[in-house]
Chain A
Amino acid sequence: MDKKRGESYISKKLREAAESGQISGDYAPTMSQVEIFGNYKIIIQNHKGIVEYGDTLMKINCGKNIIKIVGTELELKAMNSEAIAIVGKIITVEYIN
């Protein structure tokens, strides 16, 4: 077990394979997945928590990077350990390493 990252050896190898495009991201259980529906809804799976929360700016920790969402009337529709659903008028989605 990789103590620093909190993931097993197999998970790490799968994530690396998914990142290099050898396999689909679905097979990497620790890799975060972002689904964007038009400009009104974003679902982020395998997140690591909220960094910043506001109605115009949201930052979600995805482990290796942070997703920055800028928009208006942003709202957390639902949240649990596996996924976050954000609704509102989305303007930009940005990855911060």
Chain B
Amino acid sequence: MLLWLLHFFTGQLRLRVRGAYLERFLNICALNGITLYDINRIAVDEIYVFIDVHHFKPLKELARKTHCKIHILEKKGFPFMLYRIRGRYMLFAGILLFLVTVYFVWGYIWIINIDAPEGMNEREIIQNLSELGVKVGVPVKDIDAESIKNDMMLKMDNLAFFAINVIGNEANVEVEMRVPKPEMMDEDTITSIVSRKTGVITKMDVKGGTPMKKVGDTVLSGEMIVDAKVNPIKEIDDIYKPMLVHSFGDIQARTWYNTKRILSTKTSYKQYTEKVKTKYALVIGKKRINLFFGSGIAADNCDKIVDIYKVKINDNLTVPVHLVKQTYVMYEKVEDTLTADMVQKFMEQMSEESMKKLIDGEILSSSHTIYDDEGVIVLESAFECLENIGQEVYDDRTIEDINQPEKEGQLE
């Protein structure tokens, strides 16, 4: 294969050699450094032979010396091909254009893919990348992944991981968001546990502090459940005195909620007509060429669907020419009136979903009442829930405060 390529680029000649002393001719050629290929004896005084183009001149001289006649049968290879097409300027222009296109397709970034988790602001990432020189149309060689990574980590505080991989003419950006550090409460901090909601306690798992309530008790919102003050077991002498501790534990209670959800009976929906308009645009690199007259702004009563068709050579090599198809689907707004039966299930579901977000636990049971009331539909719901109601709060009392004799307070 390599030899074939070499012969193709240097060019080869197929010769017919006639003479009485062909062996002598071959020996002289070899002695003078001319390499002969595929020597084929046709007759006693005739051979066919291949030689490299640059050996033709000395060969002619040697043939004359050995009284042989040479005749060119075939010219093969790139130099002869080039000679044949020398007048076809448009072909050369096409080849040049092709090479330039290949250079632009391979050498520049045309696609930036961002793989970011949900909740991450992709626009901010694109803007920061653009400021650091990573944008569509920049040369691939100008992208220093390591330095961009460092700069991005410094620019954006909420990044935990950043990587940019350039494959072909695509830059793939991978981003991971930093998980915010949870608020940590120091174990030495003096805290009590109060109730966040009003309910009936079903379970108490107190690991620190003095329980002020027991299972089955009813607590109001803000009422203390576990006190930070711990009394000594034995009050023999002054060594044992009440102290303040960090109260913590798990307090579960049954809670009840009543909610009201209102929905207007008047509504409207889209009824699509059969009228559909399609407009095309061509995007070459960063330049957009609209293949239609007027603007591409959608009217009020239509949906605009944009499809982008990319030309891909392989998975990582995209041609920077995209076809943009804009489809406008026309619709008419139709007014309608809702009834309670139609929306009951939907409203109940919505009500339960919002309740789940509100509580730190689970819904045990629920009951709903739905009715029409002067142009609106009202859903009244009652929920019974089981949830964690304990909330740790800072206790600003000091040891001195709790060890003061009660008598003094009584006197005041």
Contact = CB atoms under 8 A, between A and B. Distances in A.
Contact of A80 (B22, B33, B41): B33
B29 to A, nearest CB: 8
Among A49, A54, A78, A79, residue most surrounded by chain B Cβ atoms (within 10 Å): A79
B165 interface: no
A52 interface: yes
List of 8 A-B pairs having minimum Cβ-Cβ separation, nearest first: A49-B27, A76-B39, A80-B35, A50-B23, A79-B36, A81-B30, A78-B37, A53-B23
A38 B202 CA distance: 95
Nearest to B30: A81
Interface residues of A, number: 15
A50 B36 contact: no
Given A80-B30, A80-B34, A52 B39 contact: no
Contact of A78 (B27, B32, B35): B35
A92 to B, nearest CB: 20
Nearest to B22: A53
Of B22, B27, B38, chain A has the most CB atoms within 10 Å of the CB of: B27
B48 to A, nearest CB: 11
B113 interface: no
B60 to A, nearest CB: 18
Interface in B31-58: 31-41
A81 B41 contact: no
Interface string A21-61: 00000000000000000000000000001111111000000
Contacts, number: 46
Nearest to A75: B40
A80 B26 CA distance: 9
A15 to B, nearest CB: 20
Interface in A49-97: 49-55, 75-81, 84
A72 B40 CA distance: 13
Nearest to B47: A53
A80 B36 contact: yes
Contacts of A55: 41
A53 B39 CA distance: 10
A77 B23 contact: no
A79 B35 contact: yes
A84 B35 CA distance: 10
B6 to A, nearest CB: 13
Given A79-B30, A80-B30, A81-B30, A52 B23 contact: yes
Interface of A: 49-55, 75-81, 84
Interface in B15-33: 22-23, 26-27, 29-33
A52 B41 CA distance: 12
B39 A79 contact: yes
A77 B26 CA distance: 13
Nearest to B40: A75
A54 B37 CA distance: 16
Given A49-B23, A52-B23, A81-B33, 19 more contacts: A49-B30, A50-B23, A50-B26, A50-B27, A51-B23, A53-B26, A54-B41, A55-B41, A75-B39, A76-B39, A77-B37, A77-B39, A78-B35, A78-B37, A78-B38, A80-B33, A80-B34, A81-B31, A84-B30
Contacts of B23: 49-53
Contacts of A54: 41
Contacts of A84: 30
7 contacts: A55-B41, A75-B38, A75-B40, A76-B39, A77-B38, A78-B36, A81-B31
A24 B34 CA distance: 29
A53 B41 contact: yes
A76 B36 contact: yes
A75 B22 CA distance: 14
Contacts of B38: 75-78
Contacts of A51: 23
Nearest to A53: B23
Contacts of B41: 53-55
Most B CB atoms within 10 A — which of A52, A53, A54? A53
A40 to B, nearest CB: 16
